Amino acid sequence: MNSKDGLTTNQIAEREIKVQRLMTSKMVTSGNSFSGGQAAHAIGRSKRNETYTREQGKALCEYLERVKRLKSHSDGKKVVYSLPSSLNLNYQWVKPNGIPIGRYYQ
């Protein structure tokens, strides 16, 4: 037990891999809200038979909420998670030459 969460270094490394998979998934980067079950589906790898339960996805989202990388709100019966507004990934970045990235002009 090395960390304050009671996890070993291998468990911390596995959690960081899951965090990276979740935070780079299209579901999160698009700015949509998602549930713990959807997060579990996003971090799972079906080709390797790595599936995760809704509770495992919810636990990962709660961890990300504690470290301020996600925010949550109740949507009726379930809790949904989304990116905080300070981490707006849909912001139109502009190159130094003034042309927005991803747009081509003639």
Reported as a single tens digit per residue, the pLDDT across 42-101 is 998 877 788 899 999 999 999 999 998 899 988 678 889 988 875 555 544 444 565 555
- Total domain count for the chain? 1
Rounded Cα gap, residues 85 and 71, in angstroms:
9
Q: Is residue 39 part of a domain?
A: yes
Phi-psi domain of 104 (left: phi exceeds 0; alpha: psi -120 through 50; beta: other): beta
Q: Is residue 19 part of a domain?
A: yes
Q: Is residue 27 part of a domain?
A: yes
Question: Hey, which residues does 73 pair with through a beta bridge?
Answer: 80
Q: Is residue 97 part of a domain?
A: no
Q: Is residue 2 part of a domain?
A: no
Q: Is residue 44 part of a domain?
A: yes
Task: Strands of 25-106 (E only): list them.
Answer: 71-75, 78-82
Question: Hey, which residues does 97 pair with through a beta bridge?
Answer: none
What's the predicted TM-score (pTM) here?
0.71
Range of the domain at 62: 9-87
Token pair for residue 59?
A: 């636990």
- pLDDT, tens digit, for every residue of 20-53? 989 888 888 888 889 999 999 999 887 778 889 9
CATH number at residue 28: 1.10.10.10
